[in-house]
Amino acid sequence: MTDTSAFIRIDRVSKDFGHFRAVDRVAVDIARGEFFSLLGASGCGKTTLLRMLAGFEAPSEGEIYIDGQAMSQVPPHHRPTNMVFQSYAIFPHLDVRSNVAYGLRKEKLPRQEVDQRVHDALAMVKLESYEGRKSTELSGGQRQRVALARALIKRPKVLLLDEPLGALDKKLRDAMQLELRALQQSLGITFVFVTHDQEEALTMSDRIAVMSGGVVRQIATPRELYERPANVEVANFIGQMNFFPGEISGEDGGTAVIQAERIGQVRCRLGELAGGGRSIVVAMRPEKLHVSAENSGRDYAVEGEIRNAAYLGDRSHYYVHVAGSDTPIAVSAQNADNALSDRLQSQAKVWVTWSEEAMVVLPKEDA
Amino acid sequence: MSSGSYMSRRNTPLFIYAILCLAFLYVPVMFLPLFSFNDSQYIAFPIKGFTLRWYEEMWHSGPMHQALWNSIKVAAVSACLSTLLGIFAAKAFTRFRMPGSKPVIGIIMLPLVIPEIILGTSLLILVNNIGLGLSLISVTMGHMLLSVPFAVAVLISRFEGFDKSIEEASADLGENAWGTFRRITLPLVFPGVLSSFLLCFVISFDEFIIAFFLAGSEPTLPVFMYSQMRFPQRLPGVLAMGAAILMVSFIVISFAEWVRRRGSYGGQADTGL
């Protein structure tokens, strides 16, 4: 290994199952103590990648380094990683204490120290009084905590989590998100977290790798991922997005003049796309757009008609049709002002307005 | 209207039908214990009187004890080995990606449908040609051929019954393959192992044709019983033996089934350390 800055280095790793390529030349560096998420729809290769980190699958190509050590010859039981399984994989024939102490047997510790560590691990996940409980008597949330304690008692360098919150109900999941994040920060252990839930990934992660079709589409912080997605696929997967395909008709000093569908001529910074193809897509988040009865004097405005409105409690979604197009522009607005939202429910002619910063220019993807 | 749901309502014709079926299945078998207590050498009605003479005779018969001991040895060894092979096969079929595993399972199951008389004849030719000869070892191997399919079937369903990630979790927590097998896999499949062993034991213990072909001068119990049929005065003793075996088989199979069904994870208290 040449570069020592990465704690986990996934170096152009691929995994083939027969003719199916589940993971395709993924290269990711993860720093020590980072909370790193692999995000993607099911079948995108994120779990396969995690299982390669744990040692349950061997890469077909490439190498994984953890703390400078190449992992391809290291079996799962010798890796400095521990995993929290999606199904929790609690040993059903053992009680809570034996489950948590399971991984300590090889370390040949004196009895008191085992007791102490089991106690500490259970305290860490707030299950102090459950030592003697049978594992079959636990609720989903408790099983998840036991799985966590069982992994953490080994003091791993890296904790791997495979959709650990997927089976919990929403309230518990929200609480566990915060708890996991707090736990990770207090322990300083590197977490690699697999999820298909973008909100979960955004809430907890330091950085996120968005995967689809076995390929990493973008690696970025939650804010970057949301505000500056690298491509249409990521933009579409994370949150909601309006897309306006267009052509670059001219450039002047780093700013491009773009002719886009439905929104007409706009001027945008191109950033990394400068010098690329002329076909692009302008993307805008629904909440960066404003809808009002009058043209409210922002940088850009387009007139349309509200055909659909969805009331979501704290906010509403409006679908505004511009003359001559069937694809509506989605606009999200806070319901702070009841008078305004009442007026907008009707099929009124409205103005959609936005400022220059609302726009992100993405490369056009081949269909 | 009678109480209870649509499904639990009384249906007299069906009830009678069920009774007849059960009678058809079990009345013939009941003759064995019935005549084993009959105070007459002749196996015929009317019943003369109650006696335990035949059981006593059985108890004191030296050759019968030898045959019983032969049967127990053969059954125990073939059940152990079949179950062991069954564990390996079930583990392989359920835990590894193997090309062609479906046809291989089919081939393992094949002895179930080969007529035993054909198996017996083939084995007779085989053991004589490879110099193994007629012995209890040959019988044991023949019985394994019959019981391995049952062992594999019972154990595959048991192995399939638990989440593969439980074994992965054990590896992840630092146990090597053997440690994982001993601490996780074996306790979880143990009910299947026990029921496979008992099933194989009974299959071997009851088997006649292969034992008849291969036993040579050391008869197993069924072969011995058959040989006694030639002597009418010994027939009641055979009936007593038969009744005793019936009882033991019934108890053993019921126990095996109970263990298999109970199958939950309670019971074994492993403290983990």
Determine the pLDDT at residue B98.
75
Cα Rg of chain A, angstroms: 25
Give the pLDDT mean for A52-63: 94
Best of B163, B166, B172 to disrupt the A interface (most A CBs within 10 Å) is B172
Q: Which residue of B has its CA nearest to A53?
A: B172
Interface residue A82 vs chain B (CB under 8 A)? yes
Work out the minimum CA distance from A84 to partner chain B, whole angstroms: 8
Q: Do B270 and A93 touch (CB under 8 A)?
A: yes
Given a cut of 90, whether residue A348 has pLDDT beyond it is no
Give the pLDDT mean for B186-211: 89
Determine the pLDDT at residue A274.
66
Q: Do B272 and A77 touch (CB under 8 A)?
A: no
Work out the minimum CA distance from B261 to partner chain A, whole angstroms: 16
Best of B95, B167, B170, B173 to disrupt the A interface (most A CBs within 10 Å) is B173
Determine the pLDDT at residue B3.
53
Determine the pLDDT at residue B270.
36
Determine the pLDDT at residue B272.
34
Given a cut of 90, whether residue A109 has pLDDT beyond it is no
Determine the pLDDT at residue B1.
47
B32 three-state secondary structure = helix
Give the pLDDT mean for A289-316: 86
C-alpha closest to that of B242 among B223, B222, B215, B212: B222
Q: Do B169 and A92 touch (CB under 8 A)?
A: no
Q: Which has the minimum average pLDDT: A54-68, B5-19, B211-225?
A: B5-19
- CA A213 – CA A224 distance, rounded (Å): 22
Interface residue A98 vs chain B (CB under 8 A)? yes
Which percentage of chain A shows pLDDT scores above 70?
95
Q: Do A77 and B169 touch (CB under 8 A)?
A: no
Q: Which helix (H) or strand (E) holds B201?
A: helix B186-206
Tens digits of residue pLDDT in A156-211: 999 999 998 887 888 888 888 988 999 899 888 999 999 999 989 999 999 999 99
Determine the pLDDT at residue A326.
84
- CA B175 – CA A22 distance, rounded (Å): 28
Determine the pLDDT at residue B144.
93
Find all residues with CB under 8 Å of A153, minimum gap 6, and list them. Answer: A100, A101, A103, A104, A117, A118, A120, A121
Q: Which residue of A has its CA nearest to B166?
A: A89
Q: Do B173 and A77 touch (CB under 8 A)?
A: yes
Of A83, A92, A106, the CB nearest to B172: A83
Q: How confident is the model at residue B271 (pLDDT cuts 50, 70, 90)?
A: very low
- Can you spell out the DSSP letters for A86-109? TT----TTSBHHHHHHGGGGGGT-
Chain B CB contacts of A77 below 8 Å: 171-176
Q: How confident is the model at residue B99 (pLDDT cuts 50, 70, 90)?
A: confident
Chain B CB contacts of A81 below 8 Å: 172
Question: Residues, chain A, total?
Answer: 367
Determine the pLDDT at residue B265.
47
Determine the pLDDT at residue A366.
60
Determine the pLDDT at residue B248.
82
Given a cut of 50, whether residue A1 has pLDDT beyond it is no
DSSP B183: I
Chain A CB contacts of B193 below 8 Å: none
Higher pLDDT, residue A331 or B62: A331
* Structure token digits, residue A131: 């030592």
Determine the pLDDT at residue B268.
39
Determine the pLDDT at residue A2.
43
Tens digits of residue pLDDT in A214-225: 999 999 999 999
Within 178-207 of B, beta carbons closer than 8 Å to A belong to: 179, 183-184, 187-188
Q: Which has the minimum average pLDDT: A58-67, A312-321, B94-103?
A: B94-103
Interface residue B163 vs chain A (CB under 8 A)? yes
Tens digits of residue pLDDT in A115-124: 999 999 998 8
Cα Rg of chain B, angstroms: 23
Q: How confident is the model at residue A264 (pLDDT cuts 50, 70, 90)?
A: confident
Interface residue A104 vs chain B (CB under 8 A)? yes
Higher pLDDT, residue B107 or B170: B170
Q: Which has the minimum average pLDDT: A174-178, A252-256, B22-26?
A: A252-256
Chain B CB contacts of A83 below 8 Å: 168-169, 172
Interface residue B170 vs chain A (CB under 8 A)? yes
User: H helices of B61-115, where?
Assistant: 62-95, 101-109
Tens digits of residue pLDDT in A128-155: 888 888 888 898 889 999 999 999 998 8
- In this structure, are residues A191 and A8 in contact, taking their beta carbons and an 8 Å threshold? no
What is each CA distance from B232 to B40, B43, B119, B208, B238, in whole angstroms?
11, 9, 31, 21, 10
The model's pTM: 0.78
Given a cut of 50, whether residue B269 has pLDDT beyond it is no
Find all residues with CB under 8 Å of A65, minimum gap 6, and list them. Answer: A1, A6, A8, A9, A11, A71
Interface residue A56 vs chain B (CB under 8 A)? yes
Work out the minimum CA distance from B190 to partner chain A, whole angstroms: 11
Determine the pLDDT at residue A367.
46
Tens digits of residue pLDDT in B250-268: 887 788 778 767 655 443 3
Geometric angle at alpha carbon A53, from A50 and A57, rounded to 5°: 80
Interface residue B174 vs chain A (CB under 8 A)? yes
